[in-house]
Amino acid sequence: MGIYTIYDNTEIDNQIDFFLNVIIEKIFTVINPNEIKSIVLCGGFGRGEGSVFFNNEQVQPINDFDITIFPRKNLNIFKLRYSEQLESVAQELVNIIPIKQIDLGIGDQRKFIIRTLRPFFTINAFEFIHGHRVLFGKSNIHNLKYFYKSHKIPIAEGVKYLYTRGSGLLIPLLDTYQNSSLINNLNTYIEINKARLAIGDSYLIRYRKYHFSYQKRIEIAKKINFNQLENGNTFKQMYLNALEWKLTPTSISEINLEIELKSTIEHFLNYALWYESERIKKYFHSTNEYIRYKLDISNHSKSERKLYDLSKGLYLLSIFFNENNYSDSLNEKLFSIHKNDPIKHNLEYLTKKYLKEFHPGGIVKQLITS
């Protein structure tokens, strides 16, 4: 095991160290270090399971760098002062470092303590506590690991995974739809792999077997069956393959991405309907039936209302897969579009509108302005 990946290779660790130092120095150009309590690396690289290609002594990170900055005091003022500046810094850094995206967030360590008093918490909080590395300053949030147990992750967190990873598939779909050619083959496959991971990860969450480590998830998935699903063995193998590629990515030059993307969307939509049918205890025959149900229940259920906005991505994904799923009435309700505005009743406009709300930075920003 290395520091940032599963490869025991000092060259990889040294190059990632170099990239991270560049990021920290860039942060310090806009924020005085004295205002910062700590800078923390989370995500795959924070857990020591980052994805990289390593060729000719050159490291190409496949994961994003997920970095959180914790201020010493005055969190709200800190956010007002630096949020936009950090977004600009992140954009500048992707032109310097060979990586798809760098996320620079601002966090509040007190929230991790408050969450220990609750009966459940988000999967993001769970993974952060169990897998992070302090790059600057001091942090003691690792002491909270005992309180963050996987069985406290609510099943609804699996829905969030499905919504967010499914929305990621819209990025290469929109790129193809409008002939932008902004998304390369590798980034398309990364989104495909994320969607496949979301299927298996949410399944483990559903049955209280989720683990923060990809390596442990492989061990768990090999031992359990996916018999609750039709074609369960297919889903299981898809998940195991996705985990393996995430840890040790290999060349995709021989992969037919068009076929893989279409197949993944079909499996993903079928699985999402199964998952929600199980969670809500109501069988859904189609994505549109499910979305109409979400529209109704979001009016009177606080917990479902939080998930409502993300469900728009699933609807758009279903249209890309089958244009017969297109519905003017759903467009009007989901996206607040007047029925007599034909310019806005088209898939490209709706997808851009959603992606702008869902993840406006990085490559998405280029896509929605092209």
Q: 334 pLDDT band (50/70/90 cuts)?
A: confident
Task: Write down the pLDDT at residue 344.
Answer: 57
Residues 6+ positions from 23 with CB-CB distance below 8 Å? 65, 67, 93, 97, 102, 104
Q: Where is pLDDT greater, at 98 or 245?
A: 245
Task: Write down the pLDDT at residue 341.
Answer: 63
Q: What letter would DSSP give residue 231?
A: T
- The answer to whether residues 68 and 107 touch, using CB atoms and an 8 Å cutoff, is yes
Residues 6+ positions from 320 with CB-CB distance below 8 Å? 170, 173, 177, 265, 347
Token code pair at residue 247: 């840890």
Cα gap 242→247, rounded to integer Å: 9
What does the mean pLDDT of the chain come to?
90
Residues 6+ positions from 188 with CB-CB distance below 8 Å? 172, 175, 257, 261
On the question of pLDDT at 142 being above 70, the answer is: yes
Quick: pLDDT tens for 88-117.
999 899 889 988 889 999 999 989 888 888
**CB neighbour class for 344 (10 Å; exposed up to 12, middle 13-18, buried from 19):** middle
Cα gap 177→193, rounded to integer Å: 20
Domains of the chain: 10-151 (3.30.460), 156-369 (no CATH)
Q: Phi/psi zone of residue 56: left (φ > 0), alpha (ψ -120 to 50 degrees), beta? A: left
Cα gap 338→257, rounded to integer Å: 36
Task: Write down the pLDDT at residue 2.
Answer: 76
- The answer to whether residues 330 and 291 touch, using CB atoms and an 8 Å cutoff, is yes
Q: Where is pLDDT greater, at 117 or 78?
A: 78
The answer, as to whether pTM is greater than 0.85, is yes
**CB neighbour class for 6 (10 Å; exposed up to 12, middle 13-18, buried from 19):** middle
Dihedral sign (CA 307, 311, 314, 318): positive
Across 213-219, average pLDDT: 97
Task: Write down the pLDDT at residue 261.
Answer: 95
- The answer to whether residues 229 and 271 touch, using CB atoms and an 8 Å cutoff, is yes
Q: Position 38: which residue type?
A: S
Q: 332 pLDDT band (50/70/90 cuts)?
A: confident
Task: Write down the pLDDT at residue 71.
Answer: 96
Across 193-221, average pLDDT: 96
Distances in Å between the Cα of 144 and the Cα atoms of 49, 95, 126, 141 are: 21, 36, 10, 6
Maximum average pLDDT range among 96-105, 174-183, 206-215:
206-215
Across 261-288, average pLDDT: 94
4: phi then psi, degrees, rounded to nearest 5: -110, -15
Task: Write down the pLDDT at residue 327.
Answer: 85
Looking at the chain, the whole-number percentage of residues with pLDDT higher than 90 is 64
Q: Where is pLDDT greater, at 306 or 152?
A: 152
Across 51-57, average pLDDT: 85
Question: Cβ–Cβ contacts within 10 Å for residue 273, how many?
Answer: 19
Write down how long the chain is. Answer: 370
Across 75-89, average pLDDT: 94
